[in-house]
Chain A
């Protein structure tokens, strides 16, 4: 199956700083990528849908100014958590969708804000 990578796999940052997470589709082009957030012992919650070359569509309740998403190419989407706070600590998972609507998930990035 197709491979999606995320970098970094884990990150610890101080409160008030910004963190960028990369999501790459390694062997296919993805016009659409998705970002999910998962708190401990909870389900994956869709944060936003990212389309290459256009602005991301955010789910209700997700602050677009706080979670900046850039989908600059068909193989790369980035999520930047700006002015991170401890409550932003979570597991962030991206997924990429192929032209035939198959969706592949990255391994996730564990963010800890101290």
Chain B
């Protein structure tokens, strides 16, 4: 069975602070995909990244960066110099070439 844990329910930071959202996953498969999505108040999921299990290279996209470590089964997401527009719920998800399962989500609030 696959499982995704986002231990941080809510995080509040002040604008320009860096913030890391944690994601730990469990799977028995060697082939799987990890995802991060952003869900603003409108509800529509915004795709941020997809990473397959064979690619442990960290990725940076603007102010966003992801740290994938198979040794600790973690796929953490860092926002550098956070902005008020980053306020949303962020979901980590796992797919084993089948359905996609989501973590509980982390609600990020960035205060001006």
Contacts and interface: CB of A to CB of B under 8 A. Distances in A.
A and B, one complex?
yes
B103 A105 contact: no
Interface string B39-77: 000111101001000000000000000000000000000
Contact of A102 (B42, B50, B103, B104): B50
For chain A, what secondary structure do more than half of its interface residues adopt (helix, strand, loop), or is it mixed? strand
A8 to B, nearest CB: 14
Contacts of B95: 101, 103
Nearest to B6: A43
B45 A93 contact: yes
Contacts, number: 42
Interface of A: 1, 34, 38, 41-46, 49, 91, 93, 95, 101-105, 107-108, 110
29 contacts: A1-B47, A34-B99, A34-B100, A38-B43, A42-B104, A43-B91, A43-B102, A43-B103, A43-B104, A43-B105, A44-B91, A44-B102, A45-B102, A46-B99, A46-B100, A46-B101, A49-B98, A91-B43, A93-B43, A93-B45, A95-B100, A101-B95, A102-B50, A104-B47, A105-B37, A105-B45, A107-B42, A108-B43, A110-B43
